[in-house]
Amino acid sequence: MLKEGDAAPSFHVAADDGRTVSLSDYRGKNLILYFYPKASTTGCTHEAIAFRDALEDFKGLNAVIVGCSGDSIEAQAKFKAKYKLNFPLLADTEFSVINAYGARRMKSFFGKSFLGIVRSTFWIGPDGTIRKTWPRVRVAGHAAEILAAVQDGEKKRGSGRK
């Protein structure tokens, strides 16, 4: 499992608009990379909307939001359009990014075990290292929790610079 201080795994994957997105595209920014099980499901929609609504606050902290699931480019594009999402959604149909970040793990539902995407989030700093992880996320209040962590982290970094 990835932890604070680790180098974030590099990736190259298609986004909702068909362009290839890579970790290096976000060098110099705080990247909030979040993984979700399936586009347009209730929990995933609530989580995406919370990030959408807080995006301006994140931008003020030099932070960008990127969502990632195993859905197709088409499913991601429909999800983004339907809910007017203002950040990229990665279509990781091969699970390369999802596996690299450890977001695909054994889950259970009604007593049945299966391999699935666990809702999780990574804050990757401008230098490409992981600043904080949320390995199991509860949707309610999650975007606000991430925002508070980035605000606190940036304050601490700012006060350490003279």
Question: DSSP string of 74-112?
Answer: HHHHHHHHHTT--S-EEE-TT-HHHHHTT-EEEEEETTE
68 is catalytic: no
Contacts of 89 (CB under 8 A, 6+ apart): 15, 16, 39, 66, 67, 68, 69, 71, 76, 77, 79, 80
Q: Pick the catalytic residue from 2, 23, 44, 143.
A: 44
What residues act catalytically? 44
